[in-house]
Amino acid sequence: MKKTATSLADGRELIYYDPDDGTVRDAVDRRPLPVTHTESQLRHDPLLDEWVVLASHRQSRTFHPPADQCPLCPTQGDRLTEIPDSSYNVAVFENRFPSLSGGPEGPVTGEPFASRPGAGRCEVVCFTDDHTKSFGDLTPAQARLVMEAWVDRTGELSSHPGVEQVFCFENRGKEIGVTLAHPHGQIYAYPFTTPRTERMLASAAAHRRRTGRNLFEDVLAAEKADGSRIVVAGEHWTAFVPHAAHWPYEVHLYPNRRVGDLLALDEAEKEEWSEIYLDLLQRFDGIFSDGERTPYISAWHQAPFRGGEEFALHQELFTIKRAPNKLKYLAGSESGMDVFINDVRPEAAAERLRELGA
């Protein structure tokens, strides 16, 4: 893999990832862009003990442009985009409308209404230069290149001042809230450990005190032993619908060897992941019979850089769609009390996903 770093016209970083070491990337961003100025703030919720990000500048971000004005397609002639080159394999750049930006983080002020600058970093990951494709349309080699970009960015962002956790994810589908149709994902470098991770770590610590064992390892072993919710089982990875799935169709993909983050995966694990993940995405697109691609969120859960020894890297893939032309809304119980009500039994969801691979 060859990594080429350059700058966009407004000073933001752009990085190309290419499979060929001989690839030359020397195109210049010709847009007359002013230097980007963003301002986000973190405010602490004292009742839930968690941080909320305020980023009002994002109200003006690009929203569903026509395909011939897509900012993530490569530059063609006088049609200038975020990618100056006329083609690319994988490209990563600093988000022009970031939720988090700058660093190092400033001091916490105020009590009980504490706040601090929204330090951190948000990046966009373009999976391919083909506007018409989705991640599931990539070849295993292309998916593997995206994985290498995630690994590289996790390592780089871990050294940024104040960054505590790196989150690689993809939102697909307008139902999810995606504002650009081009196949892409994002990376958030948070200046704190996220609430979801904190809850998992607390559960893992309590399990260790009770049993002397690792919670993530025990969950994976129990799912394998039960078998009714396993979707795909490989030499290095296991994909299953969790026993208490929150979403109508939800799959967790775990490496069989517990590691804390993407940096710890070996070559064989990364190779097999590209095959299994593409298989899962193709199954997801076959769940419903309405002819539409299934909207989904795909999220990598990595250990924070401090205090995450008990954590296990895993990927969660889920859709908010519960039936053809029907969405699962987060209504009163889910949004008001964080109590999910699932419309599909996890065992039935797993059976459906297994059938789609037959």
**Residue 252 in marked binding region:** no
**Residue 126 in marked binding region:** no
310-346 pLDDT per residue, tens: 999 999 999 999 999 999 999 999 999 999 999 999 9
Neighbour tally for 250: CB within 10 Å:
22
Examine the residue annotation and report whether 64 is marked as an active-site residue of this protein.
no
Residues whose CB is less than 8 angstroms from the CB of residue 288 and which lie 6 or more positions away in sequence, other chains included: 294, 321, 323, 324
**Residue 168 in marked binding region:** no
Domain 196-355 sits in CATH 3.30.428.10:
yes
Q: Model pTM?
A: 0.96
Q: Out of 64, 160, 184, 207, pick the active-site residue.
A: 184
Decide if pLDDT at 238 tops 80. yes
106-133 residues labelled b (16+ CB within 10 A) or e (exposed): beeeeeeeebbbbbbbbbbbbbbbeeee
Domain map (residue ranges) of the chain: 2-192, 196-355
Q: What mean pLDDT, rounded, does the chain reach?
A: 95
Query: What mean pLDDT comes out for the span 133-142?
Result: 98
Query: What mean pLDDT comes out for the span 5-30?
Result: 97
Same fold, 2-192 and 196-355: yes
**Residue 70 in marked binding region:** yes
pLDDT, residue 108, reads 84
The token duo for 265 is 């995966």
What CATH fold (topology level) applies to the domain 2-192?
Answer: HIT family, subunit A (3.30.428)
Question: Residue 61 — very low, low, confident or very high, per pLDDT cuts 50/70/90?
Answer: low
Decide if pLDDT at 6 tops 80. yes
The token duo for 22 is 């001989």
pLDDT, residue 38, reads 77
